[in-house]
Amino acid sequence: MKELLIILAAYLVGSVPSGYIIFRRGLRRDIRGLGSHSTGATNVLRLAGWKYAVPVLVADVLKAAVPVALILQLSGDRRLAMAAALAVALGHCFPLFINFRGGKGVSTAMGAFAVLSPPLFAAGLIVFATVIAATRLVSLGSLLGILSVSLLAFFWKIDVELGILGAAIFLLAAVRHKDNIRRLIAGRERKLGERKEPETP
C-alpha cells in the first residue's frame, strides 16, 4: 500500500505543469494551443525564448530527479525509484491538473536517468547533443538520446531493470512525439532556431 501511495504521489508531482504555469504567468496565454501544443521546454523555447524555456527545463528535470533521489536515499529501493520515475513521466505527459495535456517526457527522463545512472545519463546526453548538433532536430535527438540509454543499459551496463525503464519511457516519448515522427519521415520537421512567435488572439 505504501509503495502505491508513493507511486501516486510521484504521478502527482509529474502532473505539476511547469511549462503551462510559467508560460501562462509570463505571456497570459495557454501554451497548449500554440506551437506543438506541448508544455515542454522545446515548445516554450520556440514560442518565448530562453528566458522562459530554461526555468521550465530546470523545473521539469527536478520533478523527476528529486523524488527518485529521495526514494533511493530514504528507502534504498531502486525498483520503487524506477516505478516512481515512470510515474513522474506519465504525470508530465498526461497531467491530471490540466486535462491530461502536457509535455513529451524528455526532461523528466533526463532527471530520472541522471540520478539512477549518471554514466548512462551522460552517454544519452552525448547522443542527444551530437544528433542536435548534426541535424538541429530536437525531436530526433530527444528520441535517440532516450533510446540510447535503454540500449546501453541492456548491452553495456547489463542493467535489465534500467533498460526496461528506458524502453518504457522511450515508448511513452514516441507516443507523445507521434506528430514529430510523421514530420521527420516527411522531411518537414522544424529545426532548432526556427523560432515561432505566439499567435495574436
Is residue 196's pLDDT more than 90? no
pLDDT averaged over every residue in the chain: 93
Measured CA to CA, the distance from residue 3 to residue 102 in angstroms comes to 25
Report pLDDT digits (tens) over 84-107: 999 999 999 999 999 999 999 999
Task: Quote the cell numbers at residue 94.
Answer: 498526461
Span 106-113, average pLDDT: 95
pTM to 2 decimal places:
0.90
pLDDT of residue 167: 97
Is residue 178's pLDDT more than 50? yes
Amino acid found at 75: S
pLDDT of residue 195: 52
Q: Distance of alpha carbon 150 from its chain centroid, rounded?
A: 15
Report pLDDT digits (tens) over 54-80: 999 999 999 999 999 999 999 999 999
pLDDT of residue 194: 63
Is residue 48's pLDDT more than 60? yes
**Three-class secondary structure of residue 17 per DSSP:** coil
Is residue 198's pLDDT more than 90? no
pLDDT of residue 200: 40
Is residue 131's pLDDT more than 60? yes
Report pLDDT digits (tens) over 4-21: 999 999 999 999 999 999
In angstroms, the Cα distances linking 68 to 47, 128, 156 are: 31, 22, 23
